[in-house]
A and B are shown apart, each in its own frame.
Chain A
Amino acid sequence: MKTIKVYGPGCKRCDATEAMIREAATSLSIEVEIEKITDPRSIAMAGVMSTPGISVDGKLVHAGGLPDAVKLEGWLAT
């Protein structure tokens, strides 16, 4: 079970990112819990300056734009 956080004010790309994470998790058969962080203060506190940002189990792995699908699977698998 991995806890994923998606940081973003709720733009289209944030939803797309969430969908990509779900898809990757399904294909890897990993259980994930996705939390969306939309509050600007929390986004900033996480060190994210360009959205959407992604953290896996508390570790920031990505910021700015849609993630690369291959890399995304890598973050989820480790």
Chain B
Amino acid sequence: MTTDTHDIEPHREHSDWFWYVGVPAGGIAWVLLYQQLIPFSEWATALFPISRDSHTGEAIAFFLYDVPKVLLLLTLIVFVTGVLRSWFSPEKTRAILSGKREILGYPLAAALGVLTPFCSCSSVPLFIGFVSAGIPLGVTFSFLIAGPMVGPVGLGLLFGLVGWKITAIYLVFGFSIATIAGWVMGRMGLERYLQDWVRELNTGAATGLPEERLSMVDRLKVGLDQVKEILGKVWIWVVIGISIGALIHGYVPEAVMLKIMGGEAWWSVPAAVVVGVPMYTNAAGVIPIVEALLGKGAALGTTLAFMMSVIALSLPEMIILKQVLTLRLIAIFIAVVASGILATGFLFNALL
């Protein structure tokens, strides 16, 4: 997931009233549109010269219902998190974390990883900024794992498409994996596997950058900018993800799904992780697939493992981190996080 903040619009043509009236009006429009989702998708599906109950009809209905629904949900979630995150910044997070070396640092870092706005393109300077300010490596990893893994976009979509129970499970386990994986890596004393130049660097904690004072209207603008920025970037992944979800929903027979991703097949959990890691998409693209998989009777543990490995471990991110981490450290990072994901997958397949 890619987010960034302080994107204040350069224009000042609207008065504050525009925002205080416009945002609630937008909220009402959102609710009205959301209520039209089912009528719209049924109406649009009926336009195709295909029986509604056929495989193709099912797939088209799934697609036409999910695309507007996911885009509407994303708009709301990204706006609200954009506004909330305007109270946080990497600098503040670093100041909070650099005082904490105790065990409290890990869950705190994971929580701040969710709340702090940062874009994957800044993950290298952010990583260096943290480590060089004396934040333990393990705590830094907790932060970096939690950011994408339990991002608000993923949680919001999971809630909207799959339901609150699985969202709660995902939140608790994603957060735990980030915390525990960071702690494990902290115990391993991996500082020696950083690239040499990173270890020698000491930037100090203070940047000398004055804190920006934002009014409520500024924060609303940040939210709206985030919507433009993120929706502009992820809509294509949403469409691809929902297309795959629609194909699964329409064409994959339940018996086949139970065989491959059912709870009986023990190897399905590691297989889901192996398939998930190289897949490059984001939460918005993978959750419609998850929705379709669960709908066809895929086991919860296997599906969670797939979703977590797609979102939390991605090859492009590893390539970016290669600038600061040695290959050995990247391998350890992947191994520790993947173990947490496997454990989660096996646990849920065994429980349910």
Please indicate whether A and B come from the same complex rather than being unrelated chains: yes
Q: Which of A9-54 contact B (CB under 8 A)?
A: 9, 11, 13, 20, 40-41, 43-45, 47-51
Residues of B within 8 A of A51 (CB): 119, 121-122, 125
- Known A40-B125, A44-B129, A64-B89; judge A50-B324 contact (CB<8 A): no
A12 to B326, CA, bound (A): 27
CA distance A24 to B123 in the complex (A): 29
Tell yes or no: B207 within 8 A of A by CB.
yes
Contact at B323–A47, with CB atoms within 8 Å?
no
> Assuming the A-B contacts A9-B121, A49-B94, A49-B122, are A44 and B201 also in contact, with contact meaning beta carbons closer than 8 angstroms in the complex?
yes
Q: A77 contacts the other chain (Cβ, under 8 Å)?
A: no
Structural contact, A69 and B10, CB atoms closer than 8 A: yes
**B89/A44 in contact, CB under 8 A:** no
Using CB atoms, name the residue of chain A closest to B197.
A41
Q: How far is the CB of A23 from chain B (nearest CB, A)?
A: 9
B191 in the interface (beta carbon within 8 A):
no
Q: Does B90 contact A (CB under 8 A)?
A: yes
The segment from B1-9, B26-34, B147-155, B156-164 that touches chain A is: B1-9
Chain A residues contacting B207 (CB-CB under 8 Å) are 47-49, 60, 63
Within 8 A of A (CB), among B106-141: 117-119, 121-122, 124-126, 128-130, 132
Residues on B with C-beta less than 8 A from A65 are: 4-8
Using Cβ atoms and an 8 Å threshold, which residues of chain B touch A1?
Answer: none
Whole-angstrom distance between the Cβ of B142 and the nearest chain A Cβ: 17
Which of under 10, 10 to 19, 20 to 34, or 35 or more describes the interface residues of B?
A: 35 or more
Task: Give Cα A44 to B128, complex, Å.
Answer: 6
> Does B58 belong to the interface (CB within 8 Å)?
no
Task: Tell me if A76 is interfacial: C-beta within 8 Å of chain B.
Answer: no
Q: When chains A and B are docked, how far (Å) is the Cα of A73 from the Cα of B6?
A: 16
Cα A70 to Cα B13 in complex, Å, equals 12
Residue positions of A touching B, CB distance < 8 A: 7-9, 11, 13, 20, 40-41, 43-45, 47-51, 59-70
- 5 extra interface residue pairs, beta carbon distance < 8 Å, beyond A47-B207, A49-B94, A49-B122: A8-B121, A49-B130, A50-B4, A50-B117, A60-B207
Report 27 cross-chain contacts, Cβ distance below 8 Å, ordered by A residue: A7-B125, A8-B122, A9-B121, A9-B125, A20-B10, A40-B124, A40-B125, A44-B124, A44-B132, A44-B201, A47-B207, A47-B209, A48-B207, A50-B4, A50-B117, A50-B119, A51-B119, A51-B121, A51-B125, A59-B208, A63-B207, A65-B5, A66-B7, A66-B8, A67-B8, A68-B8, A69-B10
| B residues lining the A interface (CB < 8 Å) | 4-12, 89-91, 94, 117-119, 121-122, 124-126, 128-130, 132, 197, 201, 203-204, 206-209, 323-324
